[in-house]
Amino acid sequence: MNFRKIIALLLAALCTVGFAACGGGTSDTPAAADTTASTGDTPSAEVTGTTLGFDPGLPEDLNYEGAKFTILDKAVAQYNEWGETSIWIEEDDGDVINSAIYRRNREVEEKLNIEIAEYQCKTVTADIQKSVSAGEDAYQCVMPAFGDCGTLASSGFFMDLYDMPYMDFTERWWDQSSIRDLSIADRLYFVASDISMLNNDATWCTMFSKVIVEDFSLESPYDLVEKNTWTMDNFYTLYSGVSHDLNGDGELGSDDFFANLTQNENYNAMFIGGGDRLIAKDSSDIPIISIGSTERTVGVLDKLIKIMRDEDFSYNYHDKASALGYHLQTTAMFQEGRGLFWVTNLQIVIRLRDLVADFGIVPVPKYDENQEEYANVVWTVGSYTAVPVSCTDTEFVGAVLETMAAKSCELLKPAYYDVALTSKFLRDEESAVMLDLVFSQRVFDLGLAYNFGGITGIVQNLVKSSSNDISQAMAANGTAIQAAIDKVVDSFGQIN
C-alpha cells in the first residue's frame, strides 16, 4: 500500500479544512435530512500553529482579576477509565499529556488572569440539577456524559451555546461533526471540543491482530480499506473460517479462538457504521426518526444478524459469564492472541499498550462499497462542554472556554494524538493513517444522547431475535419515539 501518498493527501485536506476554519463567519445552515456521516475534523491538525494559528482573536485587554473558573466533570473514582483526566493537573510530572494539560491551564490563567479549578463529581446529573435549581453559579462549565447531556438539556439546565459571547463554533477546536449532529432547532446545548480527549477515546474503530492475519494468510484489512471493500459482507465472509477450538472440548468458548470479539454496544455502533442512523434531522434542524425510514435498514439488520448472531464467528462478552467480568474477558482474549477482530472504542488501544503482538486499527466496516464514507460512532461515555443556565457572566465564561479550547487544540490535542496515541500505542504507519480516517469520519447520533422512546434498544432487540422486521418494531415503538422527540423539541421552544 502507498501509505505515504495517503498521508500526503490527508495532510493536504487538513490544511484546506484548517484555512477554511480560520475564515470566521457564522455556522452553516443545517442540511436536509441525511442518514450518512460527513467529514469532520481530525485530531491530527497542525501542532506548531505556524500555518493555521491558534489565536482565538479575543480582545487583548481581557482581565478577570483572578476570578475562579470551576469545571464540574466526571470523577475518576466513580467512572473509572471514563472519568475526566483532561482538565486539571496539580503539577507537571513530565508525562507528555499531563505536561500539555498543565501548560494549557497555566497559559490560559496567565492570559486572562483567572484561576482554573476542577470539581470531580460522582453524581454529575444530580449535582448540576441541584446547583442550577438553587440559582447557584458554582460551576462555570460542566462536562457530563452524552446521555446525561440529553436529559439536562431538555430539562432546561443548559444555555444555548450559540448565545455565548466569544465562542466561535466555526473554529476547529470545536468538533464540527458534533456541531452538525447535536444541534436541535438551530440551538446547541452541548458540544465536543478539544478541552477533553475522552470523546476521542470513545470513538469506535476496528482493531485486528496483524499476527493472525499473517499466520492465516488472510487479506489485510488495510488493503480492503484502500480498495474501498472494507464492508460488512467482507468482514464476515473473508474471515469466517478462522474461529477454532483450542482446548479440545469440541465447543467454542472463552478458552478458544474467535474471528470477532464483540459487545452489546456493537448492535448500534455497527448499525450506524453501516450508514444508517437512529435519528437524523430535517432541513429545519429538527430530529426525525431515521431507523426504518428506508429499505437500507433491513439490509443493515440482515448483515448484523450474520455478524452478531453467528456464535462460530463472534464472541459477545455481554452474553457470556466470566470471572474476569465483561470487557476484561475480551481484553484477555485479544491480548493472548485468541481474537482476530475487536470492534470497540479507541480507549482499548490505550489499555493494550503493553500488548507484545502487533495489532492494527481500521474504521468500522461500511454497509457496502456505495457508502460514501465510514461512520465511526462516538459512544455515550465521553465528556461534552456545556454551560449551566445559572451562569451570571456569559462574557467571562465564553472568553475562558474559547481560550481554553484553542489552547487545547494547540497543546493537548497533539500531545494526545501525535505523541501519545500514535507513537506510544499504535504499532505501524498504516494505523496512524487509519486513525486520521477514523476521526475524520465519525458521527454523534442524537438517538444515543436522548434515547427517544427507548430507540437505542430497537436494533439490539431485533438482532438478538434474528429478526429484520423493522416495520413491526416501529409500529410498536414509533409513536412513543415521536412523542419523545416532540417533547424535547417543545421543551427547547419553551427555554428562554
Please report, in tens digits, the pLDDT of each residue of the chain (496 residues total).
444 344 344 433 433 333 233 333 333 333 334 444 333 444 433 333 333 579 999 999 999 999 999 999 999 999 999 999 999 999 999 999 999 999 999 999 999 999 999 999 999 999 999 999 999 999 999 999 998 999 999 999 999 999 999 999 999 999 999 999 999 999 999 999 999 999 999 999 999 999 999 999 999 999 999 999 999 999 999 999 999 999 999 899 888 999 999 999 999 999 999 999 999 999 999 999 999 999 999 999 999 999 999 999 999 988 876 555 666 788 889 989 999 999 999 998 888 877 767 889 999 999 999 999 999 999 999 999 999 999 999 999 999 999 999 999 999 999 988 776 776 777 778 888 899 999 999 999 999 999 999 999 999 999 999 999 999 999 999 999 999 999 999 999 877 5
Cα dist. 165→89, 153, 355 in Å? 28, 19, 46
Q: Which helix H or strand E contains 448, and what residues bound it?
A: helix 446-450
Give yes or no: residues 229 and 150 share one domain.
no
**CA gap 460, 301 in Å, rounded:** 10
Give yes or no: residues 299 and 405 share one domain.
no
| Residue 4 lies inside a defined structural domain of this protein | no
Contact 456, 268 (CB under 8 A): yes
In terms of Cα–Cα distance, which of 46, 86, 83, 39 is closest to 363? 39
**CA gap 260, 263 in Å, rounded:** 10
CATH classification at residue 244: 3.40.190.10
| Residue 30 lies inside a defined structural domain of this protein | no
Question: What residue has cell string 487545547?
Answer: 408
End of a domain among 410, 425, 440?
425
The residue segments making up the domain with residue 96 are 36-201+381-425
| Residue 82 lies inside a defined structural domain of this protein | yes
pTM: 0.87
| Residue 97 lies inside a defined structural domain of this protein | yes
**CA gap 322, 325 in Å, rounded:** 5
Give yes or no: residues 370 and 403 share one domain.
no
- CA angle in degrees (0–180, nearest 5) for 35-346-245: 100
- CA angle in degrees (0–180, nearest 5) for 367-368-371: 85
Give yes or no: residues 302 and 409 share one domain.
no
In terms of Cα–Cα distance, which of 373, 364, 374 is closest to 235? 364
Give yes or no: residues 252 and 313 share one domain.
yes
In terms of Cα–Cα distance, which of 446, 443, 444 is closest to 489? 446
b/e for 213-238, b at 16 or more Cβ within 10 A?
beeeebebbbebbbeebbbbbbbbeb
| Residue 145 lies inside a defined structural domain of this protein | yes
Question: 3-class SS at 391?
Answer: coil
Write out pLDDT tens, residues 248-303.
Answer: 998 998 889 999 999 999 999 999 999 999 999 999 999 999 999 999 999 999 99
Give yes or no: residues 208 and 85 share one domain.
no
Give yes or no: residues 248 and 110 share one domain.
no
| Residue 105 lies inside a defined structural domain of this protein | yes
Give yes or no: residues 368 and 385 share one domain.
no
| Residue 487 lies inside a defined structural domain of this protein | no
Sequence-separated (6 or more) residues with CB below 8 Å from residue 199:
175, 178, 192, 378, 382, 383, 384
DSSP designation for 244:
B
Strand bridging mode 339-345 / 359-362: unpaired
Q: List the beta strands (DSSP E) in 163-243.
A: 204-209
| Amino acid at position 488, single letter | V
Give yes or no: residues 217 and 318 share one domain.
yes
Domain count across the chain: 2
Q: Is the dihedral of CA 160, 165, 170, 176 positive or negative?
A: negative
Give yes or no: residues 363 and 215 share one domain.
yes
Phi and psi at 396, nearest 5°, equal -60, -50
Residue 39 CB-density burial (10 A; 0-12 exposed, 13-18 middle, 19+ buried): middle
Give yes or no: residues 81 and 178 share one domain.
yes
| Residue 495 lies inside a defined structural domain of this protein | no
Contact 116, 139 (CB under 8 A): no
Give yes or no: residues 459 and 367 share one domain.
yes
